[in-house]
Amino acid sequence: MSYIAAPERYQQMKYNRCGKSGLLLPAISLGLWHNFGGKDVFENGRAMVRRSFDLGITHFDIANNYGPPYGSAEENFGKIMKLDMNPYRDELIISTKAGFDMWQGPYGNWGSRKYLVASLDQSLKRLGLDYVDIYYHHRPDPETPLEETMAALDHVVRQGKALYVGLSNYSAEQTAAASKLLKQLGTPCLIHQPSYSIINRWIENGLQDVLAEEGIGTIGFLPLAQGILTNKYLNGIPADSRAAGHSVFLNENNITDKHVLTAKALNELAAERRQSLAQMALAWVLRDGKVTSALIGASRVSQIEENVAALQNLSFTSDELARIDQIVAEHLGNN
């Protein structure tokens, strides 16, 4: 049967203005970093995209090398678009990125104009789209002049291949410099995508101030710290978890006793708030309006439903916030 989106999809989602732009983003966005590649079950990914949109998630975040193999997440999302989502294209915000390793040779990585323009052309073919809504430079390039990288982002917008541009993993100083260049070119930076969670607060040491000053939105990735801030690892590492599979990005060594003790203490507070630990962790990221959207990953539909339900309680008392800070400081120190 043909997919028909839930008519009530916009009634249960909160939408936030992205910086000083005209764009609103859902408070929860879905990332396709894991579980949407060529080695994953296509119908599971398809079901997650459909259910996300039914819950009001309009923003889907990808990158050129998401998979594995590289490019396969874009290919699979392109298939989902063709099968289900094309009638709703104008209701969607679709983003992709380039900046990490993608193809062999000297032109398939980092931040040259050659790489960024070619990568977006490839991404659009895999996605089956004429344009993406947001195109990110995925990480700063220490060798390529920043002027060249920002000019490439401006170029693809003027070509009509992207509506907005963003940055990811840039420091406060790098972001300020990039934003200045983009404004001079006439294509202001829409959004920054940094990692951010209860146990990873690096953006609070300068980057958040720059983003506020420049009028740039924020979408935080890893708000659940790759599952550490969920109930997944409270009682050990499940055999079917990504950590047990010795992922490049997450393995047993990343989940220390200190992390488990932190999660258990935070879980007690979440229960008092009548939330799951994941829900409280998402609410914390969104707590003061500085973060436009929390970027979640998921391996099944029920996780998306649980995460969206976090929006039912985004407020914290001063005592709760102090208790969270105390728990983190006690077990992890400064983060």
In this structure, what CATH number is given to the domain that contains residue 298? 3.20.20.100
Q: Give CB contacts under 8 A, 24+ apart, made by 82-91.
A: 82/128, 83/3, 83/46, 84/2, 84/3, 84/46, 84/49, 84/50, 85/3, 85/49, 85/53, 88/5, 88/53, 89/129, 91/58
In the block, tokens 């391996």 appear at: 299
Taking a C-beta distance cutoff of 8 angstroms, is the pair 194, 202 a contact?
Answer: yes
Radius of gyration, alpha carbons of the chain:
19
Residue 10 lies in a domain: no
Mean residue pLDDT across the chain: 94
Q: Is the pLDDT of residue 188 over 60?
A: yes
Residue 209 lies in a domain: yes
**Section 32-51 average pLDDT:** 97
* pLDDT greater at residue 254 or residue 202: 202
Taking a C-beta distance cutoff of 8 angstroms, is the pair 18, 10 a contact?
Answer: no
**CB within 8 Å of 158: residues ≥ 6 apart:** 187
pLDDT of residue 240: 56
Residue 5 lies in a domain: no
Q: Is the pLDDT of residue 22 over 60?
A: yes
Residue 8 lies in a domain: no
State how many domains the chain has. 1
Residue 116 lies in a domain: yes
Distances (CA, A) of 156 to 126, 147, 167, 245: 17, 15, 14, 38
pLDDT of residue 243: 53
**CB within 8 Å of 126: residues ≥ 6 apart:** 71, 74, 75, 78
DSSP run (H or E) holding 164: strand 162-168
Taking a C-beta distance cutoff of 8 angstroms, is the pair 223, 277 a contact?
Answer: no
Q: Is the pLDDT of residue 250 over 80?
A: no
pLDDT of residue 253: 63
Give the tens place of pLDDT for each residue, 215-226. 999 999 999 999
**Full domain range(s) for residue 277:** 15-332
* pLDDT greater at residue 252 or residue 200: 200
pLDDT of residue 249: 52
Q: Is the pLDDT of residue 301 over 60?
A: yes
Residue 6 lies in a domain: no
User: What is the band of 230 on the pLDDT scale with cuts at 50, 70, 90?
Assistant: very high
pLDDT of residue 1: 74
pLDDT of residue 156: 98
- Continuous H helices in 186-226: 207-214
**Section 48-75 average pLDDT:** 98
d(Cα 315, Cα 283) in Å, to the nearest integer?
7
Taking a C-beta distance cutoff of 8 angstroms, is the pair 172, 207 a contact?
Answer: yes
pLDDT of residue 238: 56
Residue 3 lies in a domain: no
User: What is the band of 256 on the pLDDT scale with cuts at 50, 70, 90?
Assistant: confident
Residue 9 lies in a domain: no
d(Cα 210, Cα 216) in Å, to the nearest integer?
8
**Section 135-158 average pLDDT:** 98
Angle 134-41-196 from CA coordinates, rounded to 5°: 40
User: What is the band of 257 on the pLDDT scale with cuts at 50, 70, 90?
Assistant: confident
Nearest 5°: phi and psi at 253? -70, -25
User: What is the band of 331 on the pLDDT scale with cuts at 50, 70, 90?
Assistant: confident
d(Cα 197, Cα 306) in Å, to the nearest integer?
17
